[in-house]
């Protein structure tokens, strides 16, 4: 996810401040300008520059509590809690009822994981604040820093109850929704923000990210399109547009997007692997290999590059080469379920179904929702005549992924193919059809069972 860009007026102000640092003629900045400059540096996490700006501000306004508060904030960002506490206590001695000081005390408490104390300081700050929304915003930022996104989102919602057009709160709330996986809420919030700020490339980008995370690649592409139209140099938008295009099978367009990323960012192993995957999907194996090799030249340990070459070797039936490459890929990234599943496929084709089972089990251990791994593991057992193990695998698959009804039909077929377990087969067949509403599902698994009149009549009798 991306943050909002700074406005041009602020950038000009910061540029003027930078020039004053390198000039013998010191420029004058008023208190509000200095506060904006300090906040700019803090927002960019440039704490060294923020500290310089605070020092300049204190020289000009030595009795200002504002800059003492900023100094305490910087120390909190640096994690220097003892120094931060000292600055906070000094500010509190000068202005004990300053709500910003109370906010700092809340942030200090939260950094010490004392969230109940933090909540109490928030409540106290609200009592003395002229604008409670300023306090709510400060509260929300502290929640964000603590990665308490639900709390942050709720706080931004409070701001929007009275300031419906507060674009900063709206934008940040949408980001929280995205982090929480509440993609529909995030999409609604980003769309509302875009209604107010239609030329925000960052808002369009984040809208696209939310659609992509929700599993709506085409809508994601449309949003990323707007982001790149507004800002042609927005490399993250181009990259994620390429990902969405690849996911939706638009490989030629994805290639254009990834090449734009290379043009903007230069050589990158991950982007080269993505290009290799696109050409592989188009069956242009020579071009695909070229990009996987480019990735490996940049990063010899790129497991995706090794894996890409392994898949091509496998498809060309160079099994020994593919096996060596798959073993290398797994060594580089042993926790990648896709690699284990592909190695299982290779071992099965080499006539080693029980060895394949071990790799499918490894894939399932890493990703229990991997329906292909469950299916192929059951098939390997069945091919070896281990029907009990094949059925047990499918029963476990159904427990893990209960909405994958192909497992029900496979289990029914296994039982129906053996006369002694016919009753169990009919039971699983009834369950399969009840849930999936597919009366042809069994015959897709085993067309020969269509010749069994009892099964055909049984299916006809099901409502």
Print pLDDT tens along the chain (463 aa): 554 545 778 888 888 888 888 776 677 888 889 999 998 998 888 999 999 999 888 888 888 888 989 999 899 888 898 989 999 889 888 888 888 888 888 888 878 888 778 888 888 888 887 778 878 888 888 888 778 899 899 989 989 988 888 888 899 999 999 999 999 999 999 999 999 999 999 999 999 999 999 999 999 999 999 999 999 999 999 999 999 999 999 999 999 999 999 999 999 999 999 999 999 999 999 999 999 999 999 999 999 999 999 999 999 999 999 999 999 999 999 999 999 999 999 999 999 999 999 999 999 999 999 999 999 999 999 999 999 999 999 999 999 999 999 999 999 999 998 877 889 999 999 999 999 999 999 999 999 999 999 999 999 888 6
Sequence-separated (6 or more) residues with CB below 8 Å from residue 94: 65, 68
- The structure tokens listed for 392 are 């047990």
Q: Count CA atoms closer than 13 A to 188's CA, side-chain side.
A: 4
The DSSP code for 23 is S
Q: How far is CA 82 from CA 100, 114, 115, 314, 367, in A?
A: 18, 15, 18, 60, 45
432: how many CB neighbours lie within 10 A of its CB?
A: 25
The C-alpha atoms of residue 209 and residue 203 are separated, in whole angstroms, by 10
First to last CA, the chain: 49
Q: Is the separation of the CB atoms in 96 and 104 below 8 Å?
A: no
The C-alpha atoms of residue 166 and residue 158 are separated, in whole angstroms, by 11
Buried b (16+ CB within 10 A) or exposed e, 29-38: beeebbbbbb
- The structure tokens listed for 147 are 């990665």
pLDDT for the residue 6? 53
Sequence-separated (6 or more) residues with CB below 8 Å from residue 200: 4, 193, 194, 230
pLDDT for the residue 10? 86
Q: Is the separation of the CB atoms in 170 and 190 below 8 Å?
A: no
Q: Could you tell me the pTM of the whole model?
A: 0.75
The C-alpha atoms of residue 311 and residue 323 are separated, in whole angstroms, by 10
Q: What DSSP assignment string belongs to 185-217?
A: HHHHHHHHHHHH-TT-HHHHHHHHHHHHHHT-H
Sequence-separated (6 or more) residues with CB below 8 Å from residue 124: 102
- The structure tokens listed for 308 are 């890409």
The C-alpha atoms of residue 316 and residue 108 are separated, in whole angstroms, by 61
Q: Count CA atoms closer than 13 A to 283's CA, side-chain side.
A: 2
The C-alpha atoms of residue 111 and residue 82 are separated, in whole angstroms, by 12
- The structure tokens listed for 378 are 């059951």
Instruction: Name the residue among 434, 382, 453 with its Cα closest to residue 411.
Output: 382
pLDDT for the residue 406? 94
Q: What DSSP assignment string belongs to 43-85?
A: HTT-HHHHHHHHHHHHHH-TT-HHHHHHHHHHHHHHT-HHHHH
pLDDT for the residue 18? 85
Q: Is the separation of the CB atoms in 70 and 35 below 8 Å?
A: yes
């Amino acid at each position: 996810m991306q943050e909002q860009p700074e406005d041009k007026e602020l950038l000009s102000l910061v540029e003027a401040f930078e020039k004053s640092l390198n000039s013998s003629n010191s420029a004058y900045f008023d208190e509000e300008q200095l506060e904006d400059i300090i906040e700019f540096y803090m927002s960019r996490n440039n704490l060294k520059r923020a500290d310089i700006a605070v020092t300049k501000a204190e020289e000009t306004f030595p009795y200002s509590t504002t800059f003492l508060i900023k100094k305490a904030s910087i120390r909190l960002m640096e994690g220097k809690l003892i120094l931060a506490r000292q600055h906070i206590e000094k500010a509190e001695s000068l202005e004990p009822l300053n709500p910003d000081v109370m906010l700092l005390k809340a942030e200090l408490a939260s950094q010490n994981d004392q969230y109940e104390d933090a909540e109490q300081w928030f409540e106290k700050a609200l009592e003395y604040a002229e604008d409670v929304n300023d306090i709510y915003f400060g509260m929300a930022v502290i929640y964000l820093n603590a990665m308490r996104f639900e709390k942050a989102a709720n706080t931004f919602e409070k701001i929007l109850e009275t300031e419906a057009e507060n674009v900063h709160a709206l934008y940040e709330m949408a980001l929280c929704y995205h982090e929480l996986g509440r993609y529909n809420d995030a999409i609604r919030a980003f769309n509302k923000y875009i209604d107010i700020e239609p030329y925000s490339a960052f808002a369009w980008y984040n809208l696209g990210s939310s659609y992509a995370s929700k599993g709506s690649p085409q809508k994601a592409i449309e949003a990323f399109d707007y982001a790149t139209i507004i800002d042609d140099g927005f490399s993250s938008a181009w990259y994620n547009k390429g990902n969405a295009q690849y996911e939706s099978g638009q490989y030629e367009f994805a290639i254009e997007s990834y090449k734009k990323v290379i043009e903007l960012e230069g050589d990158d192993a991950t982007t080269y692997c993505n290009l290799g995957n696109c050409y592989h999907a188009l069956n242009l194996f020579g071009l695909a290999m070229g990009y996987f090799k480019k990735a490996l030249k940049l990063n010899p340990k790129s497991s995706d590059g090794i894996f890409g070459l392994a898949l091509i070797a496998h498809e060309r039936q160079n099994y020994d080469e593919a096996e060596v490459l798959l073993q290398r890929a797994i060594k580089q990234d042993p926790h990648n379920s896709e690699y284990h599943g592909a190695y299982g496929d290779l071992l099965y084709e080499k006539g080693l179904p029980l060895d394949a089972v071990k790799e499918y089990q490894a894939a399932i251990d890493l990703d229990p929702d991997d329906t292909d791994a469950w299916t192929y593991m059951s098939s390997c057992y069945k091919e070896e005549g281990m029907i009990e193990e094949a059925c047990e695998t499918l029963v476990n698959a159904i427990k893990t992924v209960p909405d994958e009804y192909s497992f029900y039909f496979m289990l029914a077929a296994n039982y129906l193919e053996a006369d002694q377990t016919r009753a169990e087969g009919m039971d699983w067949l009834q369950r399969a059809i009840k849930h999936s509403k597919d009366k042809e599902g069994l015959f897709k698994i085993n067309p020969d069972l269509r010749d069994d009149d009892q099964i055909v009549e049984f299916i006809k009798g099901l409502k």
